[in-house]
Chain A
Amino acid sequence: MDEPDNPTSEQIATFRPLLLRLAMFQLRDAALAEDVAQEALAAAIEKQASFEGRSSLRTWVISILRFKILDAMRNRRRLDLSVEPAALTKELDDSVVTGCFDGAGRWKTQHREWSDPSAQLHQDDFLRVLESCMTHLPPNMSRAFMMREWLELTTGEICARMDVSPGNLRVLLYRSRMQLRTCVDRKWGRD
């Protein structure tokens, strides 16, 4: 196989908006997100010769940001993700989810199939819809969801980082998935 061309600094810099959005979904703090996204970009530019093309440039740059955030989380003085009890109580409100089901726990409506986003043409659109829906997740739900789905921390690790009980984390993750499904269902095309 041919060696891939090293990405240019300009190519790497095009991912800045994406890195900022991902950092915001995880941290929900604009100043911290800006700092860590900038650090990740600088590291990617510094290490651009080590890009081997085994993944896409996008995936490679995101993985650098992921490691930067994990590093920052290990240093609690820099990054405290513990929840505020009042904010958590508000997010644990049942309304979004219970609105989906009748009194017997049955879906109130028959869902329609989503258009298949697996074709490349549609996948970009689907991911934009998804991204837009993620901006509407409340802060603690967003942090918990991203720690699980992006940083791939165990639930035990997330409980420790956020200082929440396993039961509350389970509810946060459940609500985030339910809310995303509902939001995507409203915005994504159907067959």
Chain B
Amino acid sequence: MTMSDDGPTTCEDTTWLVSSAQDRELSDEEQSRLQKHIDGCDRCQVARRQFETLFRGVHAYVGRGTKEAPSS
């Protein structure tokens, strides 16, 4: 299953966009769809914060960020 091309943007669609944004710049249209859905969706607001925390954690773990990490 991938992102639906038509119809209203779903929560699942937003997860595809959040993932894609890690790999490429979203188009203005994609950015707008993402923001519009998230603005009106409590579940996606929390999920996006979780993804942001997850991505920051991954970058810290592999030494991409500047934050310290466990040393063992």
Within 8 A of B (CB), among A58-103: 58-59, 62-63, 66, 94, 97-98, 100-101
| A149 and B46 contacting across the interface, CB-CB below 8 Å | no
Say which one of A33-41, A42-50, A112-120 lies at the interface with B.
A112-120
Chain B residues with CB below 8 A from A114, complex form = 49-50, 53
| B19 and A130 contacting across the interface, CB-CB below 8 Å | no
Quick one: given A105-B4, A174-B19, are A17 and B72 in contact (CB under 8 Å)?
Answer: yes
Chain A residues with CB below 8 A from B59, complex form = 149
- Tell me the smallest distance from the CB of B57 to a CB of chain A, in Å: 5
Chain B residues with CB below 8 A from A110, complex form = 42-43, 46
Most buried by A among B4, B47, B49, B71: B71
Quick one: given A17-B72, A112-B46, A180-B54, are A105 and B63 in contact (CB under 8 Å)?
Answer: no
* Interface bracket on B: 35 or more
A22 CA / B43 CA spacing, docked (Å): 32
A51 part of interface (Cβ distance < 8 Å): no
Residue of B at shortest CB range from A17? Answer: B72
- Tell me the smallest distance from the CB of B63 to a CB of chain A, in Å: 4
Chain A residues with CB below 8 A from B70, complex form = 18, 124, 127-128
Chain B residues with CB below 8 A from A170, complex form = 2, 19-20, 23
A117 CA / B49 CA spacing, docked (Å): 12
A8 part of interface (Cβ distance < 8 Å): no
| A185 and B50 contacting across the interface, CB-CB below 8 Å | yes
- Tell me the smallest distance from the CB of B15 to a CB of chain A, in Å: 6
| B19 and A173 contacting across the interface, CB-CB below 8 Å | yes
Q: A residues touching B (Cβ–Cβ < 8 Å)?
A: 14-15, 17-18, 22, 55-56, 58-59, 62-63, 66, 94, 97-98, 100-101, 104-107, 109-114, 116-117, 120, 123-124, 126-128, 130-131, 146, 148-150, 152, 155, 167, 170-171, 173-174, 177-178, 180-181, 184-185
Q: List 18 A-B contacts (CB under 8 A).
A: A22-B62, A58-B71, A98-B1, A105-B4, A105-B11, A106-B12, A106-B43, A107-B44, A107-B47, A113-B46, A116-B53, A117-B53, A149-B22, A155-B23, A155-B24, A170-B19, A170-B20, A180-B54
Q: Identify 8 new A-B residue pairs, CB closer than 8 A, beyond the known A170-B23, A174-B20.
A: A14-B72, A15-B71, A62-B62, A98-B1, A124-B69, A130-B57, A178-B15, A181-B54
